[in-house]
Structure formats: structure tokens, C-alpha cells
């Protein structure tokens, strides 16, 4: 049985993967039973009745009839799961506790449906395909729930990362770490740290999970022929996230806006930073850690950024539900990110990336699910950087034509001739060369417009320098 001190600590920690609060017992007790079934299919948990959504202990009353209804409803879960239901006095307020163990006969079913924890929420799965995805093998239901007995809690914890987690999750430093580990259910029944806890709080989780890292690679151009930077970021997952964000910041165009003469400085990224946050946290929380043949990769090209992680779209989420519904392969890890408010509403991350790209007049993101889950974010076209790559390949006249077309796609031959100071015929010949090089195209005839094709030079030798 948990004590009043335990309840205060759990309430202060807030709801999460292993804790759910209800201000009062619902009229329909089945709502409680669905949560109980979900906890049993995960790593267990505690349901507190008498604590509100703001984590305030208010107290609740449950009479014998309601208590009997709760027990009867729990009895509908198959196979049977034994839960402790009791009241605890917390400073004069009665809090009802339902303790749910992690079931040993998963999956647990309620009225033909399986309920599971997905971060701080419960969700139902009903189809055969979804069930196969959740319960392929008894010993690999969730990688992050599997114990890592080789991890030494006394020496292996990344103290600064743990303190940062507590600050972001609004956990008091007065609460002992051991109590926090207990509340978050980071250890199994033998007190071994779970894989998810090692990933999130270990100094070097790569000692135990060697591919649990982010590889960041920058390429010169639009393909993978020329690598200009290659970094591997290790350590706890949140540290990896911060290192990857900093790497991107150093590589991408970032400008600063200051409000007034003394106002705060705002960073404006060429692609919104929040879009990268959503994509990277998604990769860290949802990747298939059973796959030891691949890592999370962030690949930077001249025209795009690709963020990929092992494991395609889980079968619990169909393509038609993509972006609307979420299921994590690693609900413990997802729940820890949720406590730091790194993830918000379940299934909203993909929609947020789409909205951010649209709001900033950027190309829509592209998602692919074949083996790797890949998010592709198209960079805005930077004409000055692009034209600079062509300066030693093209004559001044051809460069001026490209600049004029960039300023006005409907510019005429006559206007170009007047602007550059050469004949219409010379303009035509130079434009023919630009077309042959694949740099310029015409859309429509009379009343049409010119289109720049953003290809890059293949080498450093000058081309088309005559004319």
C-alpha cells in the first residue's frame, strides 16, 4: 500500500505513463476500468481519485455501492487482474487509490478490446493487425520496459540531465531521486533500471544500446557524394536532442530580430526550430530500438533536411490515420518527454510540422514509412547562395540574365537587352545556353513566364564562358 507521503509525491509529479488522476469517481465506472486495463498492459500504475487536473489533492467520497461497481467492472478484464482498491487519509482529505500491477499474462482485454498506455494517455486497439504490433512476442512488447540489469544506478546516472528533467517537469529537488524513480516506475520488480530509463537518464546509454545515438551529416549539394561534416551525438536522449538542434543551428541560416532597442532577441530559423523539435523528439521516442543495424540520422543537403529513424509506421496507425493518431513503440520514453512538455497532444506533432511549414510559406513536409520513418523538410531557396555557385561557370551576361529573371519571371527579351546592354539576338543566344545547361525554362508562350531551375554545378571548371 502507498502512503500519504507517496500520494503527495505522485500528485506533485503529475499525471504520466504510470499515474492517472480523477477528481471524483465517474458515473460510468467503465472509464476507470479502461485505464486499469491499459496500466496492466503496460508497466502497471496508480490511479488516484480525489486529485484534480492541476495536481491538487481535493479528496473524494466513494460509497460501498460505487466501490462494488468498480470491483465488478475490474472483474470484466480478462484474464483476471488483481488490483488493490483502498482509501488513504491525506491531511484530512480521503484519497482513493487503485494500484494496478504490470500484468504477467498480457494482453489484457476488456469487452474484446485491448487498452494500452501511450505516454500519459490510454488508447484502445481493436484490429488483429494492431494487436500483432503490440504483442508480437511476450519478451519484446516494449523495448523500453525491458530491464537492463547491467546498468549501475549508483554510478551511471547523468546528474545534470536528471536535474534538468526535474526542472522541466516541475519536480521538487526536495523529493529524493529514489522516490522519483519509484513514482515514474523506472525500475522493475528487482530494482533494475529499465531500458527506457537508461536511455533517458544514463550517462552513456550506448554502452548498453550501441545504436542509440543521432548521426548528423552535412552534404555539399543535393546528393550524398560529398560529405562536409559528420557528427555522432551520444548520451541521454535529451542531451542528444539538444546537441542535434545546436548542430542544425550552426548549419542553417538563422537571423535575429530584436524588439525595440533593448527588447529580447528572437531567433528566426530558415525552417522553424519547432518543426525540427517535433521531428527529432518523434524519432527519439518512436524509433525501433530493437533494430541494431541503424541509427537516427539527420542529413542536411543544399535544398532539404531529412530526419530518419529505424522502423516505419507502426501497424497500430494506418496511413489514413497518420498525423491524427499516435502510438509509440516506447511509451515509457514518450511519457518522459511528455513530462518535460516536449510533446503535447497525442498525434498532434505531424500536424504541427505541416502547419509550421505552411505558416512560413515553405514547401509541405514529406513523410515516408518504408523501413525507415523519414521526415523531409525543404529548405527555402536562397538565390544569392545559388548564383554564387555559378559565378565562375557563367559569363557576366548570363549571370545578369538569371538575376533579372529572379527579380521578374515575366521579363521580356527587349527588357533584358536594355538592362544588360546587348542586342536582342545576343540575349536569345545566351538564354539558349542557359536552357541547355538546365538553368532556365519557359512556361507558356505569349504571356508566359521564365522559370529558374535550381541545379548546381557539378565541378569547378568554367562552362559556357564564351558569348
| Per-residue pLDDT tens digits for 414-429 | 999 999 999 999 999 9
pLDDT at 139: 42
Q: Name the least confident of 8-22, 111-125, 182-196, 434-448.
A: 111-125
Distance of alpha carbon 228 from alpha carbon 212, whole angstroms: 23
Residue range 363-385, pLDDT digits in tens: 999 999 877 899 999 999 888 88
CB atoms under 10 Å from CB of 46, counted, come to 20
What value does the mean pLDDT take over residues 44-70?
A: 94
- d(Cα 235, Cα 243) in Å, to the nearest integer? 10
Q: Is the pLDDT of residue 250 over 80?
A: yes
Q: Binning pLDDT at 50, 70 and 90, where does residue 162 land?
A: very high
Contact partners, residue 361, CB within 8 Å, separation at least 6: none
Q: 362 or 118: whose pLDDT is higher?
A: 362
Which pLDDT value is given to residue 36?
95
Measured CA angle at 232 (ends 226, 237), to 5 deg: 140
**Minimum mean pLDDT among 37-51, 245-259, 333-347, 348-362: which range?**
333-347
Going by pLDDT thresholds of 50, 70 and 90, the confidence category of residue 221 is: confident
Which of 103-107, 345-349, 447-451 is modeled with the greatest confidence?
Answer: 447-451
Give the number of other Cβ atoms within 10 Å of residue 114's Cβ: 20
351/344 Cα distance (integer angstroms): 12
- Residue 454: predicted pLDDT: 81
How confident is the model over 139-152, as pLDDT tens digits? Answer: 446 789 889 999 99
264 touches 258 (CB < 8 A): yes
Kindly state the percentage of the chain with pLDDT values over 70: 89
Q: CB–CB of 234/213 below 8 Å? A: yes
Residues 141 and 309: their CA atoms lie apart, in Å, by: 19
- The whole-angstrom distance between residue 163's C-alpha and the CA centroid of its chain comes to 22
User: CA geometry: angle at 212 spanning 107 and 169, to 5°?
Assistant: 75
Give the pLDDT band of residue 291 (cuts 50, 70, 90).
confident
Confidence category of residue 331, pLDDT binned at 50, 70, 90: confident
Q: Are 52 and 64 in contact (CB under 8 A)?
A: no
Of residues 14 and 252, more confidently modeled: 252
d(CA 374, CA 279): 9
Sequential DSSP letters for 163-184 = HHHHHHTT--TTS-HHHHHHHT
pTM listed for this prediction: 0.69
The Cα 190–Cα 167 span in angstroms is: 28
The pLDDT value recorded for residue 466 is 46
Reply yes or no: is the peptide bond before residue 380 cis, omega within 30 of 0. Answer: no
The CA distance from 419 to 407, in Å, is 13
What is residue 302's three-state secondary structure?
Answer: coil
Q: Which residue, among 198, 194, 283, 203, has the nearest Cα to 235 in the 3D structure? A: 203
User: In 3D, which of 281, 377, 357 has the Cα closest to residue 326?
Assistant: 281
pLDDT tens-digit series, residues 165-217:
999 998 888 889 999 999 898 998 889 999 999 999 999 999 999 999 999 99
Q: For residues 245 and 279, what is the distance between their CA atoms, to the nearest angstrom?
A: 11
For the ranges 45-54, 98-107, 306-315, 448-457, the lowest mean pLDDT is seen at 306-315
Least confident of 223-227, 255-259, 448-452: 255-259
Distance CA 315, CA 327 (A): 9
Strand (E) positions, 244-351? 254-258, 265-269, 296-300, 304-310
Q: Give residue-wise pLDDT tens across range 380-408.
A: 988 888 899 899 999 999 999 999 999 99
What is the CA angle 73-75-78, rounded to 5?
A: 115
- Residue 173 CB partners (closer than 8 Å, separation 6+): 163, 166
Q: How confident is the model at residue 324 (pLDDT cuts 50, 70, 90)?
A: low
Residues 6+ apart with CB under 8 A from 373: 282, 283, 286, 287, 308, 309, 311, 312, 313, 367
**Cβ within 8 Å of residue 65, ≥6 positions away:** none
Residues facing 182 on adjacent strands: none
Range of lowest pLDDT (23-32, 137-146, 205-214, 308-317): 137-146
What DSSP character marks residue 138? G
For residues 271 and 390, give the distance between their C-alpha atoms in angstroms, rounded to a whole number. Answer: 25
- For the chain, list the domains and their CATH numbers: 4-138 (3.30.950.30), 143-207 (no CATH), 214-378 (3.30.565.60), 383-452 (1.10.10.10)
Amino acid at each position: 500500500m502507498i502512503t500519504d507521503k507517496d500520494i503527495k509525491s505522485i500528485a506533485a509529479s503529475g499525471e504520466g505513463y504510470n499515474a492517472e488522476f480523477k477528481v471524483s469517481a465517474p458515473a460510468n465506472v467503465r472509464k476507470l476500468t479502461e485505464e486499469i486495463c491499459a496500466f496492466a498492459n503496460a508497466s502497471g500504475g496508480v490511479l488516484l481519485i480525489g486529485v484534480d487536473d492541476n495536481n491538487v489533492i481535493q479528496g473524494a467520497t466513494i460509497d460501498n455501492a460505487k466501490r462494488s461497481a468498480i470491483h465488478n467492472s475490474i472483474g470484466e478484464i480478462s484474464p483476471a487482474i488483481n488490483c488493490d482498491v483502498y482509501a488513504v487519509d491525506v491531511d484530512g482529505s480521503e484519497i482513493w487509490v487503485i494500484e494496478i500491477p504490470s500484468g504477467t499474462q498480457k494482453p489484457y482485454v476488456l469487452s474484446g478490446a485491448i487498452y494500452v498506455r501511450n505516454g500519459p494517455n490510454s488508447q484502445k486497439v481493436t484490429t488483429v493487425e494492431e494487436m500483432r504490433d503490440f504483442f508480437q512476442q511476450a519478451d519484446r512488447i516494449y523495448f523500453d520496459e525491458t530491464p537492463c540489469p547491467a546498468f549501475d544506478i549508483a554510478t551511471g546516472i547523468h546528474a545534470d540531465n536528471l536535474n534538468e528533467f526535474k526542472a522541466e517537469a516541475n519536480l521538487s529537488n526536495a523529493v529524493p531521486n529514489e522516490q522519483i524513480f519509484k513514482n515514474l516506475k523506472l525500475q522493475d520488480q528487482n530494482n533494475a533500471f529499465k531500458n527506457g530509463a537508461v536511455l533517458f537518464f544514463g550517462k552513456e546509454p550506448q554502452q548498453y544500446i550501441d545504436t542509440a545515438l543521432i548521426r548528423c551529416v552535412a552534404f555539399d549539394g543535393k546528393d550524398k557524394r560529398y560529405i562536409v561534416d559528420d557528427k555522432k551525438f551520444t548520451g541521454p536522449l535529451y542531451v542528444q536532442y539538444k546537441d542535434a538542434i545546436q548542430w542544425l543551428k550552426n548549419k542553417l541560416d538563422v537571423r535575429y530580430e530584436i524588439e525595440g532597442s533593448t527588447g529580447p532577441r528572437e531567433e528566426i530559423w530558415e525552417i522553424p526550430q519547432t518543426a525540427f523539435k517535433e521531428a527529432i523528439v518523434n524519432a527519439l521516442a518512436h524509433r525501433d530500438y530493437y533494430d541494431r543495424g541503424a541509427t537516427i540520422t539527420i542529413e542536411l543537403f543544399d535544398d532539404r533536411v531529412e530526419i530518419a529513424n529505424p522502423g516505419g509506421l507502426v501497424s497500430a496507425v494506418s496511413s489514413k490515420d497518420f498525423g491524427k493518431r499516435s502510438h509509440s513503440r516506447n511509451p515509457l520514453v514518450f511519457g518522459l518527454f511528455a513530462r518535460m512538455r516536449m510533446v503535447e497532444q497525442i498525434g498532434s506533432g505531424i500536424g504541427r510540422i505541416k502547419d509550421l511549414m505552411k505558416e512560413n510559406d515553405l514547401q509541405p513536409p514529406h513523410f515516408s514509412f518504408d523501413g525507415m520513418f523519414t521526415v523531409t523538410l525543404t529548405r527555402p531557396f536562397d538565390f544569392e547562395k545559388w548564383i554564387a555557385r555559378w559565378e565562375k561557370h557563367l559569363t557576366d551576361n548570363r549571370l545578369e540574365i538569371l538575376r533579372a529573371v529572379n527579380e521578374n519571371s515575366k521579363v521580356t527579351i527587349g527588357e533584358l537587352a536594355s538592362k544588360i546592354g546587348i542586342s536582342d539576338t545576343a540575349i536569345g543566344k545566351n538564354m539558349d545556353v542557359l536552357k541547355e545547361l538546365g538553368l532556365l525554362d519557359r512556361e507558356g508562350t505569349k504571356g508566359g513566364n521564365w522559370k529558374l531551375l535550381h541545379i548546381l554545378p557539378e565541378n569547378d571548371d568554367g562552362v559556357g564562358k564564351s558569348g
